[in-house]
Amino acid sequence: MFSLTDEQKALVDAARTASVVAIGPTVKADDETETFRPEIFGQLGAAGLCGIPTAEVWGGLGLGYVEYALALEEIAKIAPSWAVCVAVNGLPQIILTLFGNDTQRQRHLPQLASGEKLGAFALSEPGSGSDAGSLRTTAVRDGDHYVLNGTKFWITHGGYADVYVVMARTGGPGPRGISAFLVEKGTQGLGYGKKEEKMGLRASPTVELVLDNARVPAENLLGSEGDGFRVAMSALDSGRITIAATSVGLAQAALDCAAAYACQRRQFDTQIIDFQGVGFMLADMASKVETARLLVHKAAWLRDQGQPYSHIAAMAKCVATDAAMAVSTDAVQVLGGYGYTREYPVERLMRDAKVMQIVEGTNQVQRVVIARHLKRTYGGG
């Protein structure tokens, strides 16, 4: 995609304006104090940013993942923490759209898409990260309820979310024994453990979720028993595009800061961008950002067209998150001593970038996905 439609340009402008107004004034302080401001969701929702790919009939904008990626990039330029928050809030919407019934959709989608409700996704556990099929949280049918027991880790919006999509085991071992449930805030037996103290994304809360005989109505089962692993993987395929788009915005923000500084900073009566050591570094940074952006847009376009996109989403996630880490690190280097201080945003961006290579499946897992696709394509047995 090499040019934007008028509608896409308007969405980008709206995302940029809303992010500057709603997030910009407190982004530095919120990072330093690890403060999450859930009221910001209402402001972003009012700008249409909380339900971009959700159908209009369910309260969203009914746009595609290309538009979603464009908006997340703009949010991430101001605060990657908030781009991740918006992306995570979108996961229950994706799941409800693909696997929910109309009653479940009507109950949750309009308010999630407007930012009135906050959503979360609960898959990972203390002993189950990349190996999602080995999760141990259980769900046992008891009349018209399921009783859930277990602990979930790394839950974005934990303690704040109004609805969690929780994966739990209803059957035997392995992926086929996993089911997906909607667990609402206030459910008896739903509790919260420690809040993680993180290196980056400090304005986005990550909290342990505890299920202690949590009674969940059977009507909150998503799809059928045994569908949970498919639900989770479908969400993660889409989530890799959103994390990649967030990483592009992060990298662009780091490049913008470094390039502007290199044009302003003078040494030996010369702008430092004119020194090859700096100029070539910036050239490589810019090339990485553009490469990542194009791959993200291709993955998003394939999803919008209903074409296979899992392996391209994995590539986009790898390339974009690696670019974000490299570009933000080089941005700190370009700024020298100033880059290591909080006077400029690049040190925060560098801290935020690291986790992008880990969430939604580590980049090592993404390379496994890509290699498996190559094996199937080239007949590797």
Residues annotated as catalytic (active site), given as ranges: 360
DSSP 1: -
Return the DSSP state at 196: P
CA distance to 118, 134, 209, 221, 320, per residue, from 244 (Å): 22, 26, 26, 30, 5
Q: What's the CA gap between 84 and 75, in Å, rounded?
A: 9
DSSP 15-49: HHHHHHHHTGGGHHHHHHHT---THHHHHHHHTT-
CB atoms within 10 A of CB 57: 12
Q: Which of 176, 180, 122 is nearest to 151 (CA)?
A: 122
Helix (H, G, I), strand (E, B) or coil at 179: strand
Distance CA 46, CA 37 (A): 16
Task: Give CA–CA dist 342/31, Å, rounded.
Answer: 10
CB atoms within 10 A of CB 297: 22
